[in-house]
């Protein structure tokens, strides 16, 4: 396809060595597995898309390569112990110029564009980006005496490698400030790879973040963290080999680095809607955009250079209004309005548009085109879903009714690579009306494991379902086949024939979806149905800097999610909890099988009083010791009835990081 020629020409020397890498062999092994070939129906669909989509518009390829300076002489980033935390070689099959029927053509285009790897100049002598070192980009602004870094990637190792490359190519400069654009970990987790906590504490480096950053950075990842981690493995295809038949992209980057994460608290929090600051000689105008791509997020305008930094509010895709890993549903209307505010306040002057993912755009006409398309995409999603809902279309129908306007479908920057019209449309309806569709039969439905046996019986049993599903699969009716096979698998989790056939169906649907998130979920689920779920290692625990960033109340809130109410009910008690080094006191109550906490109070008739310095509690938060162990070791003290701690410990559940999602996939 002609859109590849720009990229292939730039990387020809590299390919001569890498095309026969282990990744290519791995891809061939996967191709030989049963069901990996794209069916004739999938191939026909992909061919129609190659004709109907605007592949003649190849401006993204020119823009993505503009300003290329250098790439390192390595394609993998490793930790100190040699463990690979980032590997670009696994995607080199995307650079061979072949069209794959097993990848949606539009997604293949995006995946190829995301093969950027190295240091790029955005504005001479002022702004640079390191791309392809993690899911996000690192953006470096040259101040009077050092670097001001926007977003520091997910992992310390990738962040350090990115800064090292910039210093090698541009001349070594100290880091004067770090800007966290928003509260997602792929934008702050690598901070300790570029600065130390000691430098920040000494006032040598400023850390800047939007209003609400610390609360959101902790809350989103802790309270439902175990479930979110499991689901993120599906969304990002962590256990799916990268190949034309597996994981190819994550829409806003290739994937997630597997390195060490941390957090250093901000020293400057932007509280107003718009704030102007001068940092190391550079003027910034920060725009808080709460309730957009993240609950705490901000854009930045550079008035002297006419550069608009869009954080992750504007990328090269329609984003997730509902992210499949699990998170609060985002406000598509507010998102659109914040983009519109930025368009009219900054975009009509901007000469460069830069984001924390994908690649920049240059020229005011181009920038306004992209900003308007992004504004319109989120507004249309919000408005048209409500248009349908107000005519009776329900949450279980809207994803089949909502259609993206053709004019938006023909613009690459608002294609559905990350979010999709399927899960985003349901999210909008859920935000306004909730999960219920108005039918009493769905208000308190049976669980699938309880209802499915009756469906299987009424359909004539498993053999009849298999015969019909094979017919549907053979005729390309994959969603219908999925409907009946899903009932069979829930009714008979050990029916491997049914699971294998459902896996074949999932695989073809995965090949057809443009959304990288949906593709990864379907392919990962197919793999689990065939082979069982891979054993998932226990979490590494909270990093020291993340533990220090979590408030004591947040930690107690997280503990409360682990209480098994059926065990705790009927055993009520009250604990006064004191942290002298922070001069804080808390009341912890177990009441009606529920654990609650409040800061700033002390109970008069508490069953026990625990006193421990907050710095000593960090070890507990990191999972390196329990609270009873700390107290037994003389770290802190307890007065009153010490048995309440034993009562609490007895009702706490240790979450399994690899819980079963599809029936019959748990490792034996």
Higher pLDDT, residue 388 or 8: 388
Give the closest residue to 156 by CA, choosing from 551, 619, 539, 546.
546
pLDDT at 664 over 90: no
Which pLDDT band holds residue 143 (cuts at 50, 70, 90)? very high
Using an 8 Å Cβ cutoff, are 416 and 404 in contact? Answer: yes
CA torsion 419→423→425→431, rounded to 10°? -100
Residues 140-157: what's their mean pLDDT?
98
Tell me, letter by letter, the H, E, C secondary structure of 257-288. Answer: CCCCCCCCCCCEEECCCEEEEEECCEEEEEEE
Return the pLDDT at 536.
66
Residues 231-239: what's their mean pLDDT?
89
Phi, psi of 188 (to 5 degrees): -130, -15
pLDDT at 30 over 50: no
pLDDT, tens only, 379-412: 999 999 999 999 999 999 999 999 999 999 999 9
Compute the C-alpha angle 620/623/629, nearest 5°. Answer: 50
| Number of residues in the chain | 668
Which pLDDT band holds residue 655 (cuts at 50, 70, 90)? confident
Tell me the CA distances in angstroms from 325 to 143, 247, 329, 386, 637, one per residue in order.
38, 16, 12, 25, 40
pLDDT, tens only, 492-545: 999 999 999 999 999 999 999 999 999 999 999 999 999 998 876 655 556 777
pLDDT, tens only, 580-611: 999 999 999 999 999 999 999 999 999 999 99
Q: How far apart are CA 596 and CA 479, in angstroms?
A: 45
Sort strands 361-362 and 352-354 into parallel, antiparallel or unpaired. antiparallel
When the pLDDT of each residue in the chain is averaged and rounded to a whole number, the result is 91
pLDDT, tens only, 180-230: 999 999 999 999 999 999 999 999 999 999 999 999 988 777 788 888 888
**Predicted TM-score (pTM) of this structure:** 0.89
Q: How far apart are CA 47 and CA 50, in angstroms?
A: 5
Which pLDDT band holds residue 326 (cuts at 50, 70, 90)? confident
| Domains of the chain (ranges, CATH numbers) | 2-53+62-374 (3.60.15.30), 446-531 (1.25.40.880), 544-650 (3.30.1050.10)
Return the pLDDT at 29.
39
State the helix-helix crossing angle for 421-433 and 332-342, rounded to 10 degrees.
110
Tell me the CA distances in angstroms from 254 to 118, 132, 408, 418, one per residue in order.
14, 7, 24, 12
Return the pLDDT at 668.
61
CA torsion 104→108→109→110, rounded to 10°? 100
**Burial zone of 446 (CB within 10 Å; 0-12 exposed, 13-18 middle, 19+ buried):** exposed
pLDDT, tens only, 610-636: 999 999 999 999 888 999 999 999 999
pLDDT at 579 over 50: yes
- Structure letter (DSSP) for residue 393: -
Return the pLDDT at 23.
32
Return the pLDDT at 547.
78
pLDDT at 33 over 70: no
Q: Is the dihedral of CA 366, 370, 375, 380 positive or negative?
A: positive
Residues 339-367: what's their mean pLDDT?
98
CB atoms within 10 A of CB 404: 19
Give the closest residue to 179 by CA, choosing from 320, 26, 31, 286.
286
Q: What is the percent of the chain with per-residue pLDDT over 90, rounded to a whole number? A: 84
Which pLDDT band holds residue 342 (cuts at 50, 70, 90)? very high
Return the pLDDT at 534.
81
Residues 326-331: what's their mean pLDDT?
90
Return the pLDDT at 247.
96
Return the pLDDT at 256.
92
Residues 2-12: what's their mean pLDDT?
40
pLDDT at 371 over 90: yes
Higher pLDDT, residue 121 or 659: 121
pLDDT at 4 over 80: no
Return the pLDDT at 178.
98
pLDDT at 11 over 70: no
Return the pLDDT at 389.
94
Q: How far apart are CA 350 and CA 369, in angstroms?
A: 12
Give the closest residue to 106 by CA, choosing from 24, 38, 48, 35.
48
- Residue ranges of E strands in 483-628: 573-579, 584-591, 594-599, 608-611
Which pLDDT band holds residue 284 (cuts at 50, 70, 90)? very high
Q: How far apart are CA 551 and CA 553, in angstroms?
A: 5
Q: 1-10, 118-127, 441-450, 623-632: which range is least confident on average?
A: 1-10
pLDDT at 296 over 90: yes
């Amino acid at each position: 396809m002609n859109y590849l020629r720009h990229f292939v020409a730039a990387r020809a020397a590299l390919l001569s060595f890498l095309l026969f890498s282990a990744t290519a062999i791995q891809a061939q092994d996967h191709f030989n597995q049963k069901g990996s070939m794209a069916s004739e129906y999938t191939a026909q669909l992909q061919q129609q898309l190659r004709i109907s989509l605007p592949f003649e518009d190849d401006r993204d390829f020119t823009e993505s390569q503009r300003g290329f300076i250098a790439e390192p002489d390595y394609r993998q980033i490793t930790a100190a112990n040699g463990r690979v935390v980032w590997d670009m070689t696994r995607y080199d099959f995307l650079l061979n110029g072949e069209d794959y029927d097993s990848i949606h053509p539009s997604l293949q285009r995006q995946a190829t564009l995301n093969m950027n790897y190295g240091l790029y100049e955005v504005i001479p002598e002022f702004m640079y980006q390191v791309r392809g070192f993690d899911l996000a980009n690192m953006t470096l602004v040259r101040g009077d005496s050092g670097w001001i870094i926007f977003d520091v990637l997910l992992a310390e190792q990738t962040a350090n490698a990115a800064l090292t490359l910039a210093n090698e190519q541009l001349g070594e400069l100290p880091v004067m400030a770090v800007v966290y654009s928003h509260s997602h970990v792929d934008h702050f987790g690598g901070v300790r790879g570029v600065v130390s906590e000691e430098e920040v504490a000494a006032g040598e480096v400023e850390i800047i973040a939007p209003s609400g950053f610390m609360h959101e950075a902790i809350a989103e990842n802790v309270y439902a963290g175990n479930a979110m981690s499991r689901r993120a493995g599906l969304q990002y295809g962590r256990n799916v080999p990268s190949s034309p038949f597996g994981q190819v992209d994550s829409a806003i980057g290739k994937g997630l680095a597997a390195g060490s994460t941390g957090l250093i608290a901000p020293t400057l929090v932007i509280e107003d809607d718009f704030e102007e600051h001068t940092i190391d000689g550079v003027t910034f105008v920060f725009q808080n955009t709460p309730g957009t791509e993240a609950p705490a997020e901000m854009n930045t305008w550079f008035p002297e250079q006419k550069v608009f930094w869009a954080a992750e509010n504007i990328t090269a895709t329609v984003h997730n209004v509902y992210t499949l890993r699990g998170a609060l549903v985002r406000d598509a209307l507010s998102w659109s309005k914040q983009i519109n505010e930025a368009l009219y306040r900054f975009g009509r002057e901007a000469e460069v548009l830069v984001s924390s993912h994908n690649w920049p755009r240059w020229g005011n006409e181009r920038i306004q085109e992209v900003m308007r398309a992004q504004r319109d995409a989120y507004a249309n999603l919000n408005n048209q879903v409500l248009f349908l809902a107000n005519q009776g279309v329900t949450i279980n129908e809207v994803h089949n009714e909502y259609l993206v306007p053709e004019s938006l479908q023909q613009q690459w920057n608002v294609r559905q690579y990350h979010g999709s019209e399927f899960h985003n449309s349901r999210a909008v309806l859920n935000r306004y009306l909730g999960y219920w569709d108005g039918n009493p039969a769905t208000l308190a439905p049976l669980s699938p494991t309880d209802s499915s046996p009756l469906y299987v019986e009424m359909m004539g049993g498993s053999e009849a379902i298999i015969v019909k599903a094979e017919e549907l699969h053979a005729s390309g009716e994959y969603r219908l086949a999925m409907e009946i096979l899903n009932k069979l698998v829930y009714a008979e989790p050990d029916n491997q024939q049914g699971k294998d056939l459902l896996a074949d169906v999932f695989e073809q649907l995965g090949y057809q979806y443009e959304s990288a998130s949906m593709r990864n979920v379907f392919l990962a689920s197919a793999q689990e149905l065939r082979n069982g779920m891979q054993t998932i290692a226990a979490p590494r625990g909270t990093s020291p800097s993340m533990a220090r960033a979590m408030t004591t109340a947040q930690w107690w809130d997280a503990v409360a999610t682990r209480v098994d109410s059926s065990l705790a009910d009927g055993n009520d008690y009250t604990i006064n909890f004191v942290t002298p080094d922070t001069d804080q006191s808390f009341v912890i109550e177990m009441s009606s099988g529920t654990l609650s906490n409040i800061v700033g109070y002390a109970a008069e008739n508490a069953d026990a009083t625990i006193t421990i310095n907050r710095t000593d509690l960090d070890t507990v938060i990191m999972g390196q010791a329990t609270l009873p162990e700390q107290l037994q070791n003389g770290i802190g003290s307890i007065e009153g009835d010490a048995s309440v701690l034993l009562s609490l410990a007895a009702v706490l559940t240790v979450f399994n990081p690899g819980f079963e999602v599809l029936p019959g996939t748990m490792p034996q």
